[in-house]
A and B are shown apart, each in its own frame.
Chain A
């Protein structure tokens, strides 16, 4: 384990914003109230502020503008050790989904999830990353997908969807307006979304394609905190899209993929793109407002919407899914809290690919379960393949019965033929 590399990386990660956060934190502990890992386990180590303790120590020892003077009188915290990194690995990777909910309760407005991400980068430098994530990264670099979905498999899945819907789906077609990418989970488990998109886009007269060089939006580099991996994976999408000359890349129903491509991507590749990124929710809403996807009938089930953290609280797409559901659902109910205060599914930020965290993830779902028990919906709609997969598994575990639906697939069902 390379402890000094971890320290070096963490030091270099402390910019003015991180320094302000680490300096302003008054150890008031209110953030604990927001964290589903603390709430459902009562384990005080899972208080968000405690997860930041390595960063705090590094800041106060190395980066605090008065650290030099404080060192003279022995007022700085101890240097990090191997034991610290081992101990915090659980706090940094297993018990934080980077959901960002703790920020809304913090009197100092600290972006705790952002600091956990920066700590993860230190863990990567030291080589203390859970196997589930390093494995996913290896597969993503080798095959193009963290779940190991090869181009041949992808072609086959797309061909099946084309056959099922009777709509031709042309891969690698240059000059179209939109290039769609998908999350690994969608390709593997929820491939009906491909047919749904074909149906919606046909109705709306949208020209689109998918690339066999970059069909994956999932970016495990972002989740584990490995900028090099993140950059390679984003670059694939950027290169493929620019080669095809599309105007837009459609970010799929996947939380962190949107962060990776839209918010972090340009910073990773060091330039702005020659195309625009549009999230599928934004695109569907735009088509809906333009009247290009007339729908027929409404779903009469009691439906609710699960806000994926990275799309809503940390992505800024809040009203679009509600407007879309407004058009196709008769009996929509909000869970409480919702929108920017929503409760995470328990498996974001790489937690779902990290087998060490499996038990915790299911426990953390307890908060979501309470929300659901209050509202008692017939089905839950969401816009993230990972949330969907995580919640389906948790719903099974807790012996609840409730389908979890993709908003795109649901919309497609109500498109006028």
Chain B
């Protein structure tokens, strides 16, 4: 078995399993902690608050966008770029169709892929520069933050280098890093890609009963 076959075969299955089972374990474990029933008399609907909160927190409200514009811009550049590359990049779509499920899907043209990838890069680098230079960010950042950022960065970097789709070693490196990223995901802050829903939802529900969603 070649190295490429290994990272696309057995290791990929292990990584995918750790990712799926880990993330599910985590979500079920968190939700199972439950919450005590609230005996106070609600003024409005908790459910409506939970739904509203999901949308409200995509942008800081209450006069903040201007103060946090750096994070907002870089954050969106990174995430939107990443989602485009992941979900509509031709190699990714083809890989998913071959290895997961052959869902009919649209793919981006090559130039779109490159632009999205560059935007994602720029965003992640800007976020990282902020993380290592801003006094607040230095104080609050821990190992997990740096590992998550670096691992994602390396996945993206190796992906860009594999764009030619010819050098086997580069393809294999990308895949190896992807496998590592998937394994790291449930154990780390990368889980925010899932738990953000619950976090926003609980606050929305808690305050929604009170007739306001902060």
Contact = CB atoms under 8 A, between A and B. Distances in A.
Contact of A105 (B60, B201, B213): B60
A32 B139 CA distance: 12
B137 A66 contact: no
Contacts of B203: 17, 21, 103, 109-111
A175 interface: no
A108 B191 CA distance: 12
Given A27-B189, A109-B203, A15 B35 contact: yes
B196 A108 contact: yes
A30 B140 CA distance: 11
Nearest to B142: A27
Interface residues of A, number: 66
A17 B52 CA distance: 17
B10 to A, nearest CB: 21
A368 to B, nearest CB: 14
A25 interface: yes
A336 interface: yes
B139 A341 contact: no
A262 B71 contact: no
B125 to A, nearest CB: 15
Given A63-B33, A75-B187, A266-B40, A20 B212 contact: no
A49 interface: yes
B181 interface: no
- Of the four ranges (under 10, 10 to 19, 20 to 34, 35 or more), the interface on chain B belongs to 35 or more
Interface stretch (B62-70, B86-94, B156-164): B62-70
Interface stretch (B20-28, B104-112, B172-180): B20-28
B187 A107 contact: no
Contacts of A25: 189, 192, 199
A333 interface: no
A44 B22 CA distance: 34
Interface string B11-26: 0000000000010011
Nearest to A265: B40
A40 to B, nearest CB: 14
B72 to A, nearest CB: 8
Interface string B190-214: 0110011011111110110011111
Contacts of A312: 212
Given A23-B191, A66-B26, A104 B214 contact: yes
B25 A30 contact: no
A314 B214 contact: yes
B141 interface: yes
Given A29-B140, A66-B26, A105-B62, A340 B71 contact: no
Interface stretch (A193-201, A270-278, A321-329, A345-353): A270-278
B186 A66 contact: yes
Given A23-B191, A66-B187, A276 B41 contact: yes
A398 interface: no
Interface in B23-46: 25-26, 28-36, 38-41, 43-44
Contacts of B75: 28, 107
9 interchain residue pairs of minimum CB distance: A65-B29, A341-B62, A316-B211, A17-B202, A24-B199, A109-B200, A20-B198, A266-B39, A316-B210
30 contacts: A14-B33, A15-B35, A15-B36, A16-B31, A16-B32, A17-B35, A20-B199, A21-B203, A23-B195, A24-B199, A29-B134, A44-B135, A47-B139, A50-B139, A65-B30, A66-B29, A70-B187, A104-B61, A104-B64, A107-B196, A108-B195, A109-B199, A265-B40, A267-B40, A277-B41, A312-B212, A314-B214, A316-B207, A316-B212, A341-B63
Interface of B: 22, 25-26, 28-36, 38-41, 43-44, 53, 56-58, 60-64, 67-68, 71, 75, 134-142, 145, 186-187, 189, 191-192, 195-196, 198-204, 206-207, 210-214
Interface of A: 14-17, 19-21, 23-30, 32-34, 38, 44-45, 47, 49-50, 53, 63-66, 69-70, 75, 100-101, 103-111, 114, 262-267, 270-272, 276-277, 312-318, 336-337, 340-341
